[in-house]
Structure 1
Amino acid sequence: MELGCFLPPVLWAAQVLLAASSEALQCEGPVSTGDSACHPGDDRGSGEVDFQAKGYTFSRPLRLVVSYDWLILQGPATPIFEGDPLALRCQAWRGWPLTQVTFYRDGSALGAPGPHREFTIAGVREADSGHYHCSAVFQSPGPGSPETASSVAVTVQELFPAPVLRATPSPSPQEGSAVTLSCQTKLPLQRSATRLLFSFYKGGRAVRGRGLSPELQVPAASEAHSGSYWCEAATEDNHVWKRSPRLEISVQGPSRSGAPPALNPAPPKSVAPGMPAAEPPRPLPPPSSPSSGGPGPPSPLQASDPHLQHRMGLLLRQMQDVRVLLGHLVMELRDLSGHLKSEARKGPTKQV
């Protein structure tokens, strides 16, 4: 028989037993009909035993605490996690009838006195941890005999931490690339069989409803996928649910090729004798604001789009290069004009 074909048995009972009362120990799981044995624990001296059998798995030892008080509070015998039900029982000696039963947590009453001996919570939270005890009045022996039970510590363990949302390969992907959002959390070993459901949100809108997969696939990211994301992990009964911190996704635009090379103007030629030197071209003024007519700060669109700023810079440099070339052309025209005027003043040459 394979070990993995059934769940391991669980030995359970109330955490505290009252002397002279009877409690049943129940083993939930497969029943062994083969060879089995029960051996005292090694150097434990606490009454715990180890169970051995061929082809079977067995429960962990359970410690029983026997009390000789008139009134005790019976609590959970196994570790309790968020979302588990909690049942506390106020038990009297030999089951004598009680009245005005009151339950307390950390010294504060959890309700008015009444006839009910049990206090239950459908799904506990970590805030329910504390020291519990009960008080009651015995109806017999003797009229109106009040008693108070010793406190029992109840510690509610975290079922799973708040999830963390991560983006793979990066929260700033290039447009058109694939992105995977992972809602990451971890269950304790004792509750590894618990099923969690995951959901994803963008802002206040659900992107994907609850499902077993902790991942959300985006095959091709676009600018519309940019935004603030968060995820939620919850148990199937919704007794425990937790949200992740927000994660900003910023999809980058497509990469652009390098800037075109700037024009290299030819070096200026020497000016003809007698001609004034051409004034070097001045740089172009910065673009003026449409409203004031003068230079002003860049518009919000320019400040928010680095690609637009880059293209405008290239355009300004090219305009300056064109201005320089126009200056050189003007100087060439002046040289040619001066040369033509000089030839006109000399007149036609005479034949000898």
Structure 2
Amino acid sequence: MKIVIFGLTISSSWGNGHATLWRGLCKHVVRSGHSIVFFERDTPYYAAARDLHELPGGQLRLFTNWDDIRLTASSDLRDADVAIVTSYCPDALAATDLILSEGRAIPVFYDLDTPVTLARLMAGETVSYIGPRGLRDFALVLSFTGGPRVASEFRGRLGARDVRPLYGHVDADIHRPVPPQPHYRADLSYLGTYSEDRQRLLEMLFVAPARARQDLRFLIGGAQYPDTFPWSPNIYFVRHLPPSEHAPFFASSRLTLNVTRRAMAEMGWCPSGRLFEAAACGAPLLSDDWPGIGDFFAPGEEILIARDGQDALAALGMEGAQLRRLAQRACDRTMDQHTSDKRARELVSLLEQMASSGAHRQQSEEA
């Protein structure tokens, strides 16, 4: 198949979770014999921190405005089998109109930000990447979030016909056990872009334990942290880490923390890709709690759950052998169920099912 994608970014991993996911997914889709064309608006925001300049085995098409690329996109769509539009794509509406007007490729929408999308819809806000017809024109809607609510919400609010989860994943070629590095050494680490809606939990599960355990070293890696962040002398900071540095970061952590954004935690069944990355690198996992977490890692056996600062301090006090056993089980689970290769096979299988069922042709006729 030829798959054309209109997305937020694959070229820059700075301040977003889309790029790393797309890189792993596209690489393994290409390895399985399919071709990828990825359209990305070339914004200064991402261009200044670009860490991928070409798509191995595929084509990356950067453009400054839609009018400049429309003819090229139209040409690519004429012989495409599938066209995917993603959440937060700045040209999502124009791309959707073009896909439907060409009428050749199976139209797919992939929401990598489902909890945010639904929260805005429920608040009566406009969602910039979804047009007035909702999702009814897409043969398939993929969601980064699963669980019991997503399909019914997308169907009821947006007219989606077929909704399937396509969860996060880890590229095991990049995220794997490596020797620890002294400059990343930490008793507890946290890797994530600053987010106001994570701050309360981050202060409870990371900052407060750091203040209580001045004898330990704490490390944050990420972008956009404000000067007002409540640092303490034993909290160290590494500004934005490209994916190539994730493995030594996690491998140097005695324990690493995951903090889930509020909308994701409330919706549930929305595992951060950081969980799988850390597990693949052999780091013991500590996470806030949310519905469905046990579907991905077994609490107490593959992951530790912290509901307050005392839970975090208890995890920090565990014996190294206990943490290593937990980390190994999480790594085994990740390699079995949550790799980019597995997600790519899931995606291709879903797309092949759509193609063989004639769902796209049926929708075109109904429209």
Instruction: Select the structure that is richer in strand.
Output: 1
Q: Give TM-score scaled by structure 1 length.
A: 0.21
Instruction: Select the structure that is richer in helix.
Output: 2
